[in-house]
Amino acid sequence: MTTKDRDLKKFLICMVDLMGVILVGLLLTTSRSPRLHMDMDDVNTLLLIHIAAFYVSNQFNSLFDRGYLEQLKSVIIYSIYFLVGITMMVFMSKNHFYIARTASLVFVTLNGILVYAVHSSIKYYYQHLYPTLKYSRKVLLVTTSDRLERIAARFEASRAWGGQICAIALLDKPQELALPKIFQDKLILSVDELEPYATQNVVDEVFLNLSRDFDEQIADYLLLFQSMGIVVSLNISAFEIPLNSDRRVRKLGKYSVLTFSTKFYDYKWMTIKRAIDILGALVGLVITFLVGLILVPLIKLESKGPAIFAQNRVGRNGRVFKFYKFRSMYADAEERKKELEQYNQMKGLMFKLEDDPRITKIGRFIRRTSLDELPQFYNVLIGDMSLIGTRPPTESEFKAYSAGHKKRLKLRPGITGLWQVSGRSDITDFEEVVQLDAEYIDNWSLWLDFKILLKTVRIVLLGKGAR
């Protein structure tokens, strides 16, 4: 994880522990026993003592690498610091702060048990559950067979490094290959399979763990994977390659790595973007429900089939998700598309046809007013999409992507985006779409999202949606 990611996790765990202090404190405020009772003012003081004890006892440091007995020892040390802090505050405050000794011991004990349970749960989540999730970091390992044992040992030593090895590409051709236990279920790729795999599959990061014998190949791979919009990490103990791209030093398991990317996104700004997405999606779903009360009967009256069109689309770094729209075409539109491909007005991998005969009468209206996009607020709510981003390709379009096209998928796809507000009905070259999407990805900011949102509102109000 990067230093900023580490600091954010440290802050969040401290905040979770703060809520635990409040919970235990509130429990004791309800006690009628003078030996156990404490006031809310006492709880406020305990919060300050907790923050000091948390940092002095280094609760976060090596949290994910500790065994459960080591974790217990760490919590006991934290609790001792907490008790010492309470005692010091009692003596220093001159009767402005007082907690009975029994209450102090009960509080520190209950709080320690809660901290141990919460920290153990967080560790278990990152060690066992998080790597299996759809949106956990999928890492493609590029190395040679003679380095596998050492790599496996170092990843095993880091119990919760925050990702999952999705495949291993070997640049040599060993006569016999004995895989370490943790790699035995991994897909093994040859040199020729490396680029197609990274293009067509979910890859969030490529970890290059190679010797100096591969200088030229490493430079080529850095450029290749960055052109796809994929983050590249290099084993820093072996190389220092100066490139014009953004670079950061961070930890990948037990390795110190130099990570390259055309742009790194600040975690706090991405968190704010996600919060805005959730809020916007909740409001949007209310609007979708109200509009749907009118549109659903009209759609179903005009043509047979479901009112909501669902289709597999490809999202961030190649993740497939179910994409929803109000149906604007006849139910057999996908089958008829093959007949119409010869009339495609779009140059490249996208399909567009003015006066498309597959579009229904109500469909023309909802496409022109962009009402057909409303169900995508559900995609935004569950994290498959964002309010603002690049448009998600279909699976067939994605399968035809070259390496440079994949950069479009570096961020979550959006309901609207830069190319949609740049005259989408007039753009007929897919490469121009890719260029606009790359511009958005390389220059992303909340301010850019805000400007795109304002332009989208203007386009919708003027009825300049898709034709």
pLDDT exceeds 70 at position 344: no
Mean pLDDT confidence for 420-424: 73
Mean pLDDT confidence for 333-362: 68
CA atoms of 429 and 321, how far apart (whole Å): 26
| 451-464 pLDDT, tens digit each | 899 888 888 877 66
SS3 assignment, position 351: coil
pTM of the predicted model, to two decimals? Answer: 0.72
The CATH architecture annotation of domain 136-261 reads: 3-Layer(aba) Sandwich (3.40)
The bridge status of strand 386-388 relative to strand 414-416 is: parallel
What local confidence, expressed as pLDDT, does residue 275 receive? 93
Q: At 79, list the tokens.
A: 């609790």
Contacts of 268 (CB under 8 A, 6+ apart): 8
CA atoms of 343 and 331, how far apart (whole Å): 20
Higher pLDDT, 441 or 258: 441
Higher pLDDT, 131 or 448: 448
Backbone angles phi, psi at 251, to 5 degrees: -100, 135
What local confidence, expressed as pLDDT, does residue 273 receive? 93
Rounded (5°) CA angle 336-339-343: 115
Closest residue by Cα to residue 226 from 448, 442, 413, 419: 442
Higher pLDDT, 225 or 125: 225
Where do the CATH 3.40.50.720 domains begin and end in the chain?
136-261
Number of H helices, E strands in the chain: 14, 11
pLDDT exceeds 80 at position 286: yes
Q: What is the mean pLDDT of the chain?
A: 84
pLDDT band for 196, please (50, 70, 90 cuts): very high
CA atoms of 172 and 358, how far apart (whole Å): 52
CA atoms of 38 and 55, how far apart (whole Å): 25
| 33-45 pLDDT, tens digit each | 878 887 788 888 8
pLDDT exceeds 90 at position 193: yes
